[in-house]
Amino acid sequence: MATVTSVDSQKILSLFEKQKIRSQQLRSEGIAERKKRLRALAPFLLKNRERISEAVYHDFKKSSTESDISELYPVLTEIRHALAHLDEWAKPQKIDAPITYLGTRSEVQYEPKGVCLIIAPWNFPFNLCFGPLISCLAAGNTAIIKPSELTPHTSKMIAALVSEFFEEDLVAVVEGAQDTATHLLTLPFDHIFFTGSPAVGKVVMKAAAENLTSVTLELGGKSPVIVDSSANLADAAKRIAFGKFLNNGQTCIAPDYVLIDESVQAKFVEAVKAETVKLFGIEGEISESSPSYARIVNQRHFDRLNKLLQDALEKGAKTELSGPANRDTNFIHPVILTQVSAASRVMQEEIFGPVLPIISFQSIDQVIATINGKTKPLALYIFSQRKKFSKQILAETSAGSVGINECIMQFTHPNLPFGGVNTSGLGKSHGRYGFLSFSNEKPVLKQKSGFSIPYLLHPPYQGFRKKLISLMLKWF
Ligand code: NAD
């Protein structure tokens, strides 16, 4: 049984030690074994499709179809993509030799890092445990996973699935809250893959520094959407409404706020209101019985969002769309705001809920100054038909990923890296980039026997050697 339910330091240490031994064995295991494991995992997860969606539904009423799309499908895609490309990713990469290395042969080998720790958040609780796990296994490592305590049904289901499919010295789940994570972080893991808030990301990085463990930090922040006057407003409204209110706005790359050219604001506001109701409502209304609309994860976040909203309204925001909210069921109707003050909390903090502030601009310089005045976002979206407009925004701002005339879809593209910059993240995940995060890129240089060029650089440094070194400095 590969599950620990409270901070049981002996049990955790014993798991870690067992995985240390197994990770050593994995180093000499062939790629075929890794593929065999991944090949078997896909049908196992598919067989458990209902169990996965039921657990997620119990945690925050995410519809089973949304679970299929946003929890299970990205993991299956990650497996299929790894199976199709692992041979090529793991193959030592031959490296050309410059003239000064004549006679040598070099390559980069991809070795497993060893025992890895995966700490996951609650918002895509299955996807963000198993997604990184696929990269971790593809690279030949073992893993201890700590799911989020805020989605207890999913955490329990993940622990059960893992113990049914894996030996505990290969993959194990340790359930628990902050104290459990804190304890895990004292161990000298070979890599830590953390997904969560920037605040906890700093805690993780500090703890990792104690053991000089490498980290991948997938964090969050305020992801802006810019809509310029040339944008196809109908498309923009549809895609922004989907990206924002999917998962009830609790998506790391959800559009956090919209910057809109003031000449098209009124038209866009009407379009995005209509699309929101069309996508998430039934018979023209979004209510607690809307089957495609998830809930806020818990009352703490319900209260946080309520305070954020009250603060925006007190600072002069105008409500363009809203509806009922129910603290007992953590239901919040989508909210769209205009005339939002830059000083209000919705423009200072990551919203992470179904509240969309829309702010008008008159010039591209204003847009760039607003974005650069905040920490670097995880995602940035541009809706425009003008290449020059997009090009200038791309050149003069920084972001983890960019969508042009699209939202969210960059996350699931198997050939694109995913990650943030500075406060929105460190390192990349998905596909080959995820494989690389969990691998040590080890350069190996092979020299031939007998005379070799480096002999010419050995001391004593006089006569011909001195001349040669001068020549080398000048020409090679
Ligand atoms: P969180 O940082 O509160 O928690 C994430 C994980 O860290 C949980 O497993 C939690 O138990 C653990 N944790 C909490 N406090 C800890 C501590 N002091 N020390 C060690 N571990 C600790 O994040 P959350 O509320 O679960 O998720 C929301 C955040 O995650 C948002 O900021 C969102 O943008 C971000 N996020 C990022 C991505 C991404 O891929 N970049 C994906 C999803 C969510």
Among 353, 145, 347, smallest CA distance to 245 is for 353
pLDDT confidence of residue 260: 98
Beta pairing class for 325-326 and 425-426:
unpaired
pLDDT confidence of residue 152: 97
CA 297 / ligand 1 centre spacing (Å): 13
Among 449, 450, 469, smallest CA distance to 459 is for 469
Give the mean pLDDT of 345-350.
Answer: 97
pLDDT confidence of residue 456: 87
d(C-alpha 78, C-alpha 42), whole Å = 10
pLDDT confidence of residue 472: 87
Give the mean pLDDT of 290-309.
Answer: 96
Among 310, 402, 316, 308, smallest CA distance to 359 is for 316
Mutate to test the pocket of ligand 1, among 195, 210, 223, 430 (most ligand atoms within 8 A of CB): 195
Radius of gyration of the chain, Cα coordinates, nearest whole angstrom: 25
d(C-alpha 142, C-alpha 116), whole Å = 6
**Residues 305-314: tens digit of each pLDDT:** 999 999 999 9
CA 194 / ligand 1 centre spacing (Å): 8
Confidence of residue 346 (pLDDT cuts 50, 70, 90): very high
Confidence of residue 6 (pLDDT cuts 50, 70, 90): low
Determine whether the shortest distance from the Cβ of 193 to ligand 1 is under 6 A: no
What tokens does 354 get?
């179904």
Q: What are the residue boundaries of the structural domains of the chain, listed by start?
A: 3-219+426-440, 224-415
Task: Output the CATH code of domain 224-415.
Answer: 3.40.309.10
d(C-alpha 18, C-alpha 461), whole Å = 53
Residue nearest to atom 34 of ligand 1 (CA): 220
Residue nearest to atom 23 of ligand 1 (CA): 196
- Angle at which helix 31-47 crosses helix 49-60, to 10 degrees, equals 60
Active site residues: 218, 252
pLDDT for 1 beyond 80: no
pLDDT confidence of residue 2: 47
Determine whether the shortest distance from the Cβ of 246 to ligand 1 is under 6 A: no
CA 141 / ligand 1 centre spacing (Å): 23
CA 166 / ligand 1 centre spacing (Å): 25
pLDDT for 220 beyond 90: yes
How far does Cα 108 stand from its chain's mean position?
26
pLDDT for 227 beyond 60: yes
**Residues 75-113: tens digit of each pLDDT:** 999 999 999 999 999 999 999 999 889 999 999 999 999
pLDDT confidence of residue 49: 98
Determine whether the shortest distance from the Cβ of 425 to ligand 1 is under 6 A: yes
Among 428, 27, 19, 7, smallest CA distance to 189 is for 19
**Whole-structure pTM value:** 0.95
Q: Please report the atom of ligand 1 found closest to the CA of residue 121.
A: 26
Determine whether the shortest distance from the Cβ of 360 to ligand 1 is under 6 A: no
d(C-alpha 302, C-alpha 250), whole Å = 12
Q: Please report the atom of ligand 1 found closest to the CA of residue 425.
A: 41
Among 242, 235, 273, smallest CA distance to 382 is for 235
CA 121 / ligand 1 centre spacing (Å): 4
The secondary structure of residue 72, as a DSSP letter, is I
Give the mean pLDDT of 279-293.
Answer: 93
> What average pLDDT does the chain have?
96
Confidence of residue 475 (pLDDT cuts 50, 70, 90): confident
CA 196 / ligand 1 centre spacing (Å): 2
Q: How far is CA 35 from CA 109, 119, 143, 380, in A?
A: 18, 24, 16, 35
pLDDT for 124 beyond 70: yes
Determine whether the shortest distance from the Cβ of 149 to ligand 1 is under 6 A: yes
pLDDT for 161 beyond 80: yes
CA 168 / ligand 1 centre spacing (Å): 24
pLDDT confidence of residue 11: 94
pLDDT confidence of residue 8: 87
What is the helix (H) or strand (E) element at residue 15, kind and residue range?
Answer: helix 9-26
What is 3-219+426-440's CATH topology?
Aldehyde Dehydrogenase; Chain A, domain 1 (3.40.605)
Given CA atoms 148, 414, 430, 384 in this order, what sign does their dihedral have?
negative
Residue nearest to atom 40 of ligand 1 (CA): 218
**Residues 420-470: tens digit of each pLDDT:** 999 999 999 999 999 999 999 999 999 999 998 888 889 999 999 999 889
Residue nearest to atom 16 of ligand 1 (CA): 178
Determine whether the shortest distance from the Cβ of 175 to ligand 1 is under 6 A: no
What tokens does 398 get?
């920084």
Q: Please report the atom of ligand 1 found closest to the CA of residue 418.
A: 40
**Residues 126-140: tens digit of each pLDDT:** 999 999 999 999 999
Give the mean pLDDT of 164-180.
Answer: 97
**Residues 369-421: tens digit of each pLDDT:** 999 999 999 999 999 999 999 999 999 999 999 999 999 999 999 999 999 99
pLDDT for 250 beyond 50: yes
**Residues 33-78: tens digit of each pLDDT:** 999 999 999 999 999 999 999 999 999 999 999 999 999 999 999 9
